[in-house]
Amino acid sequence: MPSPYRAVFAAPGTRAFSAAGLIGRLPLAMMGIGVVTMVSQLTGRYGLAGALSATLALSAALCGPQISRLVDLFGQRRVLRPAMVVSLLGAAGLLLSARYGLPDWTLFVFAVLVGCVPSLGSMIRSRWAALYGTQPRLLHTAYSFESVVDEICFIFGPIISIGLSTTWFPEAGPLLASLFLATGVFWLTSQRATEPVPHPREQHSGGTALRSKGLQVLVLAFVATGTIFGSIDVVTVAYAEEQGHKSAASLVLAVYALGSCTAAVVFGMLHLKGAPAKRWLLGVCAMAVSMIPLQLVGSLPLLAVALFVAGLAIAPTMVTTMALVEQHVPRAKLTEGMTWVSTGLAVGVALGSSAGGMVIDAAGADAGYGVPAVAGAVAAVVGFLGYHRLNRPVPQRGEAHEYDSTRHESTADRMA
C-alpha cells in the first residue's frame, strides 16, 4: 500500500471500521438489482420488478438524510441498529411475499421498509472526518480510499447478486445483501472508540443541513451526475444487446467503474493545493466533456475505452465533493450533509434510468447516449452558476473532533 494510505490507517480502529463499511455498503449495489432479478424470475413481470426497484431507491433517498440527521443527534450506535432492523424486516417481508405470490401492494409496502437503510458510506466518512478533520492531507487520502471502496462495491455487488439469484435460487441475492447489511452495521456500531460524538444541542438549532447554499449546489449538481450514471447503465445494456453481445454489458460497465477506481487510488496519493471549489468545478466539467466521445463510438471495445476514460473523472470529483460538504455544513450536521449528496445522486440515477429507457424505446441505443451528454452539460451549468456559493465556506465551531472523555482518547494519544 503506498505510504499515504499507510499513514491513514496508522490510527487504531481505522482498518476495522473501514472493513465494516465495505461489508455494509455492498447491499447498496446488490439489493436493487437483486430485487429485479428475483421478481422477474418468480413472476416474469419486468415492469413490476422495475417499479419495486424504483420504490426501494426512492424510499432510500427520502429516508437516508433523516436517518443521518438522527445519527448526528443521537450517535451511530443508537440509530443505525434500529434502522437496520426495520430494513431487514422489510427485506424478509419482500422475499416472502414474492415467494408466496402475495398481492402486489404488499411487495411495495415492504420495498418502502427496505429503503430505511442507513447510508454506511456517510457513516464511515464522518468517522474519517472526526479523526483527521485538522489534517487535510490525511482526510483527502481517506476520502479517496472510500471512493475506491464504493467502486469495488459497484463492480462486484451486482455480479454477486445476479449470479446467486440466477444459479442458486431467486431470493439468494437480496438475502445475502441483507446478511451483509446486518454484519456491517453490527460490526461498525460495536466500534465505539472511533464513533463521532453526537451534537444534540447544535442539531436542535438551525434546521436541516440542506439550508446551506453550498450544499444545495452540490446536491443539484449530483442529481445531474446521478442522471449520467443511471442512463449510462441502461443505455450500455441496450447498446450491447443491439451489438449482439448483451452479456458483455456487465464487463463494459465494470471497465467504467475501474476507471474511477484507478483515479481514486492515484488521486489519494496526491497532495493538491488551492481551493477545492476550483478542483470540483474542473471535475464536473471533465465529466461533462467525457460524455462527448460516447456519441461517436461504433463498437463495444471502443465504448469500453471511452467509458474507462470517462470514469477517470468520477472519483476525484466525488472526493472533492465530500471535502466541500465538510466546509459548507456545520460539523454537527456533517453526516446528514454527506447523505444529502448521496440522495441527490440516487434521485439522479432514477431519473437517468427512466430517461435513458424512454429515449432507447423511441430512437434506439445510439441516441440514448445523448441523455448522459445532456445531464453532464446540466451539471456543468449548475457548477458554474453556483461556484460563488462554494467559495464561501461556513465557519465551524470548536475543534475538528470533540471527544467524549468516557469513550475517546485524543488523536495525539492514539498516534503515539
CB distance 12 to 193 below 8 Å? yes
Q: Are residues 162 and 233 in the same domain?
A: no
The DSSP annotation for 315-344 comes to HHHHHHHHHHHHHHS-GGGHHHHHHHHHHH
Q: Where are the alpha helices (DSSP H) in 115-212?
A: 120-132, 136-167, 172-189, 200-203
- Domain stops at, among 146, 176, 198: 198
Give how far the C-alpha of residue 293 lies from the chain's centroid of Cα atoms, to the nearest Å: 25
Q: Are residues 180 and 223 in the same domain?
A: no
Q: Are residues 160 and 218 in the same domain?
A: no
- Which CATH number is 183's domain given? 1.20.1250.20
Work out the mean pLDDT of the chain and round it to a whole number: 81
pLDDT in tens, 338-382: 788 888 887 887 788 778 777 887 888 788 889 999 999 999 999
Q: Are residues 124 and 216 in the same domain?
A: no
Please indicate, yes or no, if residue 194 is contained in any of the structural domains.
yes
Biggest alpha carbon–alpha carbon distance for the chain: 63
Q: Are residues 9 and 158 in the same domain?
A: yes
Residue 415 pLDDT? 30
Q: Are residues 357 and 283 in the same domain?
A: yes
Confidence of residue 247 (pLDDT cuts 50, 70, 90): low
Residue 378 pLDDT? 95
Report the chain's C-alpha Rg in angstroms: 21
CA–CA dist 330, 325 (Å, integer):
9
Q: Dihedral of the CA atoms 347, 353, 355, 359 (nearest 10)? A: 170
Q: Is 77 exposed, middle or buried (0-12, 13-18, 19+ CB in 10 A)?
A: middle
Please indicate, yes or no, if residue 415 is contained in any of the structural domains.
no
Please indicate, yes or no, if residue 398 is contained in any of the structural domains.
no
- Residue with the bigger pLDDT between 294 and 334: it is 294
CA–CA dist 412, 414 (Å, integer):
5
Q: Are residues 155 and 232 in the same domain?
A: no
Confidence of residue 43 (pLDDT cuts 50, 70, 90): confident
Domain count, the chain: 2
pLDDT at 95 over 80: yes
- Residue with the bigger pLDDT between 44 and 110: it is 110
Cα separations (Å) of 195 from 119, 136, 198, 283, 335?
15, 19, 9, 31, 12
Top-confidence range, 23-37, 52-66, 91-105: 91-105
The DSSP annotation for 188-243 comes to HHT--TTSPPP-HHHHTSS--GGG-HHHHHHHHHHHHHHHHHHHHHHHHHHHHHHT
Residue 414 pLDDT? 32
Residue located via cell numbers 492515484: 266
pLDDT in tens, 192-232: 888 888 766 554 455 677 677 888 899 999 999 988 987 88
Q: How many CB atoms lie within 10 A of CB 193?
A: 13
Q: What is the pTM of this model?
A: 0.74
Confidence of residue 1 (pLDDT cuts 50, 70, 90): very low
Q: Are residues 77 and 154 in the same domain?
A: yes
pLDDT at 148 over 60: yes
Q: Are residues 60 and 182 in the same domain?
A: yes
Residue 182 pLDDT? 94
Q: Is 389 exposed, middle or buried (0-12, 13-18, 19+ CB in 10 A)?
A: middle
Confidence of residue 27 (pLDDT cuts 50, 70, 90): confident
Residue 411 pLDDT? 31
330: Cβ contacts below 8 Å, ≥ 6 apart = 202, 206, 209, 394, 396, 397
Residue 178 pLDDT? 92
Please indicate, yes or no, if residue 304 is contained in any of the structural domains.
yes
Please indicate, yes or no, if residue 174 is contained in any of the structural domains.
yes
Please indicate, yes or no, if residue 405 is contained in any of the structural domains.
no
Residue located via cell numbers 436541516: 208
Q: Give the domain extent around 11.
A: 1-198
Q: Are residues 101 and 146 in the same domain?
A: yes
Q: Are residues 171 and 276 in the same domain?
A: no
Please indicate, yes or no, if residue 403 is contained in any of the structural domains.
no
- Domain stops at, among 172, 198, 224: 198
Residue 96 pLDDT? 93
CA–CA dist 346, 352 (Å, integer):
10
Give me 5's grid cell: 494510505
Please indicate, yes or no, if residue 74 is contained in any of the structural domains.
yes
Q: Are residues 144 and 258 in the same domain?
A: no
